[in-house]
Chains A and B, each alone.
Chain A
Amino acid sequence: MPRFRLSRRSMLRGTAGFAMALPALEIMSGTAHAGADIPRRYFLGFAGTSTGFPTFDYDLLKPDATGVGYDIKRALAPLADLGVREEVSVVTDLEIPWGEEGSIPAGGRHIGWHAHSTAPLISGVRSISGSNEAAAGATSEVVAADALGGDETLHRYLAYRVQAAYYRGSNGDGGNRGRITYRDEGGSIIPIDPISSPRLAYESLFTGFVPPDPAEAAEALAALRRRRSAVDLVLEDAQSLMTKLGSADQTRMERHLDELRDLERRLDEVSTPAEGACALLPDPGEDPAIGGTVENGDTNGYASGGAYSDEELRATVMTDLVAMAFTCDLTRSASLMYTMAQCFLNANPLFGQPSDIHELGHYGVGGGEVGLNAVSDGVAWHVGHWARLVQKLRDTQELDGSSVLDHTAMVLLFEGGWGFDPESGDALSVHSSENMAVLLAGRVGGLNAGGGVHISSPGSHPTQVVNTALSALGINHEMGEVSGIIDGLIG
């Protein structure tokens, strides 16, 4: 028979004094978090775009002024609109080194552009080769999950993706361009598929939650029992298969079993959302349909809504889910890939440009300042959703009155910057890992203690900002081959 037990999370959720349906939970109301007990959280966002525009020797992301109270240009406009500048630091003039096959430097990328900056950016380990875009090291949300008590939360980490499909060639061509999560399994680096369905993300996140209404709770518990019965049987079946398989398939099945066991564990974690900030979010309903492919330059295709699956809604839902996951301590580490590397997402529904974001980065609309503005709007779209999460976490109170953001470090990475392109030899290209920028939010460990700052750190590696975030979280880890943090970010 299914077993139900109260996890530490149930205890924490119960502490807010929600009017609980389950008698066993009623006894838990009234205990507040002590400050030292409040978990720390880590969030990684990724934008599959460069920040500059061809021929321009500046972008509209980098503030003119350094230090606190930095000025905000077009690409960072959401920081002002949402009132979160004081919670966000901007690190600019970063660079990922490059090299040809066989001479790629530590933490560097293959000289070919698409999409070779992503792997060193997210893992800190140099590109594998010119034909392999996968990361060669574990990524930071996995590292953080291990260090922040991922085994104590319902979800070790969340790996979500907003962009529903690749939108170029045959959908499904994205492959490693649609992933930013990798884990180290005994020296083998395994890519982790993100959840890209808001509906699945919702159902998965709130596994085990039951509503407070007694009748609804009984129904929910019965449904959970049935789910658990099914999974129990499947686990037995999977285990019995193991001895019949060859070693390669045993490895695959073991991975499947690990994930099944994790689902089983989550189905055990019955709890009721606590009163206050932790709450069961409204069901987002069915997923928006997945849009079709559009080729470069097909303005009609973009104008008629191709290459789009309502990513605006998807980003909003997933942001809400991450915020609530942190608030309810359902996880302490999450990544959200807003767009895939070489982002072919339609910009038209987002900010009125009948093109994809990748194409805008090359040709803009009309070129010149208009093009730079369009590219910056694309950057701003990513910044806006990331900043909304900053805002939500800042405005969500822990039980001791502090904000969730006080215990959180958040990073936003961009696939590229602008500057020299070693492929073409162009001095001012968007196929460049020069002049890269990273945003860092949160107040854990002294981050942004005196308000958000702009720091120019020429030649530093963008993944050093990730190191800085991990350091602020108290995690003694440096990403792959990238060592050191960015000075001046931890107050």
Chain B
Amino acid sequence: MGVLVLGGGPGCYVGSSADEDPSAGEETGDDSGNSGNSGGSDSDSDSGDPTEPPPVEVLERVGELGMRRLTAAEYSATVRDLLGVDVDAALLLPEDWRQPFDNDYTTQNASQALIDGAELLAADVAGLALEPGLRDATVGCTPAGPTDAACFQEFLARFGRRALRRPLSEDDLSRYGALISEAEETGDFYDAVDVAIRALLQHPEFLYRIEVGTPLEGVPDVFALNDYEVATRLSYMLWGSTPSDTLLDLAEDDGLSDPEGIRAAAEDMLLDERAKARVGRFHALWLGYETLPHSPDLTTAMQAETQALIDKVIFDDAMPWQELLRSSETYVDTTLAEHYGLPAPATPGWVDYADSGRRGLLSHGSFLSAMSKIDDSSPTKRGILVRTRLMCQVIPPPPPTVDVDMVEPEEGTCKEDFYVEQHLNAPGCVSCHALMDPIGLGLENYDHTGAFRTVENDDESCVITGQGELDGSPFSGPAELSELLIDSGSLNRCVAEQLYRFAMGRTELAPVDASFIDFVVEQNGAEGDFDFAALVLAFVSEDAFRYRRNEAAQ
């Protein structure tokens, strides 16, 4: 992957973010601490003996990965799928740092806040799961008495496999089975179940996704994942939640040991509603509309609009991903239709953009609200959003002599003039701002809430031209910007790069990561329209997906 340098003068470097840290990709070969025991559990059928490595070209695409704590969103989804209970884990777990994805494991540190929060959450979940309406489903058998060890073992084996995402070993079952003493002490079978649930939900293999794998002959730093670990990778990537029994059964039957099996499983998983939510969350975190600074009604309507488009393009109609940017219709309710100046449907539904100048996701209030500033849009920030998130380029932070809080047009100055004079005609500023501001200026007819306007903030003296430019090509409005982005040929790789960050839980990428991304993009088509579901399937069925590389020693 070559370095791409655009436009800018001295000090404004723009390159592929996957290449930015020349030291990040050094392979260390560190395998200290690995015992050679394979798989994520004692019970795993893998022998632990080194296995034959894949071809060198596959090894060169295997990225580093460390243990990843469940995010608050993943925790909530997981216990919902495990036990049917709803908890807001974000209230009790340390906050997940968005940059922009919420699952970068390198930002996670165990703390008392985590340990105590996890303990309290586990107690909450156990209590909810053992309420009368859910108790029988939680336990799965009817105890003959308070000390029915057989029923307790049955519960442990079934729930334990689901919670830890691998079968419990005989030793596990024996140790956890001893918890029946709690029932013996109190005379209540469900007290033992309560303790077991609490323990399993505090177990490191529940709180973290820990991949151990099987060592490879002659390749000390790379490990082959076992089928359960592959199932877990798949489920958190595609569902943001724990593997289903079906997926675990598939792992038990060695059904995830080859690319074909993984692809087939992933195809089935993409049919699940959870995949829609997960793909929606990926886009929301990526493009910055997970939360929106608007009234609850407007926020909900905007998020529903974008999710509906994602569902339609990627799942329901199986259209190319680029249709997200081209769509000539949008899903609105009355509130949002009025906000946009579109005809309001009687009930929430699809309306035609007609000649409104809007097309696709870049016209959505969700996207246009991102990175706004001081009661108005920020052309600079919108330019950064497009460059960094949609084109995967790196823009350096402002120089230390610029106070970004205070750089605003003076009273009576039109913003567009200000940006041209202060940024684009200023020798010290233009090298970087020329990469950003012209993009944002082309979207200025849409304010920071996505509403259309012709003048700045009701000031008739400041008429917005709405003329922008992307790498020398003029445009006006989201529809034309979308076409330029599609024609730029950079979207396919950038989407794959962002998906890689999300799937691997790591923001900073190394050359070995770029190799994986490039390979997948090549398989799925580096230029022209691509199918997002096909990209996902190419991703998970790439050989290197079934391996992990040890991180460099810290």
Contacts and interface: CB of A to CB of B under 8 A. Distances in A.
Interface of A: 100-101, 110-114, 130-131, 155, 159, 165, 169-175, 178, 188, 190-197, 199-200, 203-204, 207, 222, 226-227, 229-231, 233-234, 236-238, 241-253, 255-256, 258-260, 262-263, 287, 290, 292-298, 300-301, 304, 306, 362, 421-426, 429, 431
Interface stretch (B78-86, B194-202, B345-353): B194-202
B111 interface: yes
Interface string B368-397: 000111111000000000000000000001
B113 A175 contact: no
Contact of B116 (A200, A234, A425, A426): A200
A172 B288 contact: no
B210 interface: yes
A259 B110 contact: yes
Interface stretch (B31-39, B255-263, B426-434, B522-530): B31-39
Contacts of A231: 119, 199, 202
Nearest to B123: A227
B66 A295 contact: no
Interface string B166-188: 00000000011001001001100
A306 B111 contact: no
Contact of A423 (B108, B111, B179, B403): B403
A443 to B, nearest CB: 30
7 contacts: A195-B117, A203-B116, A243-B33, A246-B33, A249-B33, A255-B110, A263-B116
Contacts of A130: 397, 400
Contacts of A110: 400
Interface of B: 30-35, 37, 66-67, 90-92, 94-100, 102, 107-117, 119-120, 122-123, 175-176, 179, 182, 185-186, 191, 194-196, 198-199, 202-205, 208, 210, 212, 285, 288, 290-296, 299, 371-376, 397, 400-403, 405-406, 448, 550-554
A259 B67 contact: no
A249 B66 contact: yes
A100 B400 contact: yes
A423 B92 CA distance: 38
A172 B95 contact: yes
Contacts of B96: 172
A113 B519 CA distance: 42
Given A170-B291, A246-B33, A175 B97 contact: yes
Given A296-B373, A297-B374, A245 B34 contact: yes
Nearest to A160: B113
B97 A230 contact: no
B66 A247 contact: no
B405 A362 contact: yes
B199 A423 contact: no
Nearest to B35: A243
A115 to B, nearest CB: 12
Given A255-B109, A295-B372, A249 B551 contact: yes
B210 A241 contact: yes
B210 A294 contact: no
A249 B67 contact: yes
B33 A259 contact: no
A201 to B, nearest CB: 9
Contacts of A171: 95, 98, 291
Contact of A112 (B102, B122, B296, B400): B400
Nearest to B194: A226
A182 B397 CA distance: 26
Contacts of A253: 67, 204
What are the nearest 8 A-B pairs in CB distance?
A: A297-B375, A193-B94, A230-B199, A246-B550, A256-B110, A248-B551, A295-B293, A424-B403
Contacts of A258: 110
Nearest to B548: A246
Contacts of A238: 203-204
A286 B517 CA distance: 45
A244 B30 CA distance: 14
A216 to B, nearest CB: 16
B92 A197 contact: yes
Contact of A226 (B100, B182, B397, B554): B182
A178 B95 contact: yes
B88 to A, nearest CB: 8
Given A243-B35, A252-B67, A298 B293 contact: yes
Contacts, number: 245
A38 B95 CA distance: 36
A113 B404 CA distance: 10
Contacts of A234: 199, 202-204
A237 B285 contact: no
A114 B288 contact: no
A113 B35 CA distance: 47
Contacts of A195: 112-113, 116-117
Contact of A244 (B35, B185, B371, B374): B35
Contacts of B552: 248
A165 B212 CA distance: 35
Nearest to B171: A240
A295 B375 contact: yes
Contact of B109 (A178, A193, A295, A306): A193
Given A243-B33, A292-B296, 19 more contacts: A100-B400, A170-B100, A170-B102, A170-B285, A195-B112, A196-B113, A222-B185, A222-B186, A226-B198, A230-B198, A241-B204, A245-B67, A246-B32, A247-B32, A248-B30, A248-B66, A255-B110, A300-B295, A301-B295
B202 A230 contact: yes
Contacts of B373: 295-296
B448 A295 contact: yes
A360 to B, nearest CB: 13
A237 B182 contact: no
B554 A248 contact: yes
A110 B401 CA distance: 11
Given A195-B113, A195-B116, A247 B204 contact: no
A281 to B, nearest CB: 17
A112 B113 CA distance: 31
B441 to A, nearest CB: 20
Contacts of B35: 243-244
A179 to B, nearest CB: 10
A173 to B, nearest CB: 5
Nearest to B91: A287
A169 B95 contact: no
The residue among A188, A197, A230, A253 with the most chain B CB atoms within 10 A of its own CB is A230
Contacts of B102: 170, 172
Given A292-B291, A298-B293, A172 B400 contact: no
Contacts of A262: 112, 115
A237 B98 contact: no
A290 B554 contact: no
Contacts of A244: 34-35, 37, 212
B554 A251 contact: yes
A246 B551 contact: yes
Contacts of B203: 233-234, 237-238
A406 B266 CA distance: 65
A170 B389 CA distance: 15
B107 A175 contact: yes
A125 to B, nearest CB: 19
Nearest to A233: B199
Contacts of A429: 403, 406
B290 to A, nearest CB: 5
Contacts of B210: 241, 245, 249
B29 to A, nearest CB: 11
A290 B99 CA distance: 20
A263 B119 contact: yes
A200 B118 CA distance: 10
Nearest to B371: A169
A293 B98 CA distance: 14
The residue among B116, B292, B373 with the most chain A CB atoms within 10 A of its own CB is B116
A292 B293 contact: yes
B329 to A, nearest CB: 28
B21 to A, nearest CB: 12
